[in-house]
Structure 1
Amino acid sequence: MRRTRRSALLAAGLVTALAAGPLAAPAFATPAPAPSAAPSSVTFAGTTAGPDAEALSAAIAGLPDHDATAALLRVGGDGTWRGTAGVRDIRTGTRALENARFRAGSVTKVVTAAIVLQLAAEGRIDLDGTVQQYLPGLLTEDFEPITVRQLLNYTSGLRPGASLGDTVEDGYPHRFETLTPRQVVASSVAEGPAYEPGTRQDYGNIHYTVLGMLVEKVTGDSYAHQAAVRIFRPLGMRDSSFPAGADPRIHGPHNRGYDWIGGKLVDVTDWNMTDRFAAGDLISTTADLERLLVGLFRGRVVPEPQLREMFTLPDVPGARYGAGLERFELNGKVIWGKTGSRPGYATVIAATPDLSRTLVYSVDSTDAKGDGQAVAERFAYPAFNR
């Protein structure tokens, strides 16, 4: 059974449904390239020290296939490479859009962490302040004090909150239902603490759901508007937004997302994401996420010393995450980044600390909520293989 919790980038594997119901399995039901696959669009500029253009071109060749219907890749740093392949809609076979919007999933957490750290730099949030202090009554007396920093680095001890399905298959019948952030947190609190805060790192959405509520309480504003005025507008992220309430649609140009459900390829593009909130509700583009990645690493989004929180691992066994970012090593390179997945869409942002190599991709994966290994090996590894 495919679990909804994403494994780590590179480490574990870097809405109205169709009126006619699930699609019959198309010609690319096996991994072989489809004869009708749209041609790739590729641009490259660089030297022999730049990205491996041959490997990257091979990664997107033959789309759509059994594992993905489209892919949008942007590699930068010392040399650049851009690639688009696949189809916008498998019914029509129209070529995938290079500027397509998509659900970025847990990449949202990078935006949330940046907002919280900005508020900390302004003196409006103390990272050592507690949930009990900022959101009185949210937690019961069963909980020891949980700091903002512990929410940021996933060491809060909160249990996962409620969901409308632990797999894409389970969630699909409920894709237009609403589960509010407050309901998600209430279900977590009702289960009591999982462990003493600060003693263990367990990645999960619940930490960032609470952080989104904290942002709204401290600013007296909606989380979505704070993201727009603090992150999107200053960085020129004109195609990034959050859904309005329970709106299940991706507005603007986008490629359709699909998932295998019961042996059928099903359109899962339209989906109410209210339960993901500040943990996974972002809609964006690869160009916008590249702006976020570069701006963040260059210190244009979060000032020092707060920026160091994003690149600092907590002192607990096996820690991999700082505030919003995860640390990896590949081919001797230290890489910091974030994965994101929602049904039909798998996303990655990643870079070396000096920005000598950056990667942003959105893959319309037909198993986006799987473990991510195949997608990472195919699309992420080539970006850092030299």
Structure 2
Amino acid sequence: MWGRFLLNTVVPGRARLIWNYRTFFTMQLKTKEFESLFTDGLNSIAELFAKNQFELRIAGGAVRDLLSGKRPDDVDFATTATPDEMKCMFQAAGVRMINNKGEKHGTITARIHNENFEVTTLRVDVETDGRHAEVEFTTDWKKDAERRDLTINSMFFGLDGTLYDYFSGYEDLKNKKVRFVGSASQRIQEDYLRILRYFRFYGRVAERAGEHEPETLQAIRENARGLAAISGERIWVELKKTLVGNHAAHLMEVIYELDLAQFMGLPVEANIEELKRVWEQSHNWSPKPMTLLSALFRSSEDVDRLDLRLKISREEKNLGLFLVKHRRDLVKCQDQPNSLKPYTDFIIDSREPDAHSKMCELLKYQGEEQLLAEMQRWTIPRFPVSGHDLRKMGITSGKEIGIILQNLRDVWKESHYQMDKEELLSSVTKS
């Protein structure tokens, strides 16, 4: 149990470990990543909170990043000050506040030295319905940590570098384990989206696939139906992050094994083996989430149903439809297996928006590494002849112009897009 002994240990270049009599584990981090956070803006905010005798700590994902030796892109803060106390403090100091839509949940965003600082009051959940929570504010750091989803997300850093870890999150992070804080069922029932957050963080933290705690999977299975009440937009955000993380194919297989798919807009009769194949051959090439997900789809109707439930973007839906339609009929030429021509000809003739990007995703889906590299270097050439050029030659019939342009386009494609305007028009003259 943490907190039974008092021991200071120096870890060279990293941290000073401290065992406390209190029931949490601390260590003092002194790394260049941590120290780089202290801009003029953060120093000013820190001085302001200290002057008004409120505690301010780094919270959430930034703690996880710092413990992993990374400099976080975004830093969230937690405090013992209430929103009203923060507003009074910032107003008195002449600090501008912006985007205060989160105030009812305790979040105030201050802007100082051209930086935004999002600061949230410590909270406890008074009442939850599986989607939203009624909260009340507290000054108890452990109670705030207790309401968070995963142990690796329940830690705080003091601005002196002291880690406050109430639920062995640091140990789990070192061991690459993903566990809920306390009871998995209770945490899930507070917000059913935590089911998908579990998978997302497993893909980010766990070293190997398939090392889930059985009781965690059982809790997820028992609470699967709760996902039906979660908005599609929230589900899609988490699902996309899972698809671009590690172990994506394994995690999608688990999602199906636990009967979650039916509540998420995913096809019930999905092609899991196809997804595993596509992921295995393409995950090193950073496929888009929809590229992997399309492997589950058996028809365009599956894409439509996904869109109906998850409210995916038009671009994402169009990519899904494109891949389902062309993953089998648009393939490399067997006579010239290293030729891009079937793909480039399609792009030249296509009216598909962003056809080049879609074609790159198709090549990822098909596992065509060499062709993908060539396609990424290839730029779409411009067909050099226009109807205006033909009219200058005395051809006035619109129908005839259309036929000639199509014929010239075919000739141009056969030349691998090398023939210029003069060469193409000369062929019209000869005919």
TM-score range, shorter chain: under 0.3
Higher RCO (C-alpha 8 Å, min separation 6): 1
Structure with the bigger percentage of strand:
1
TM-score by length of 1: 0.23
Larger Rg: 2
TM-score by length of 2: 0.21
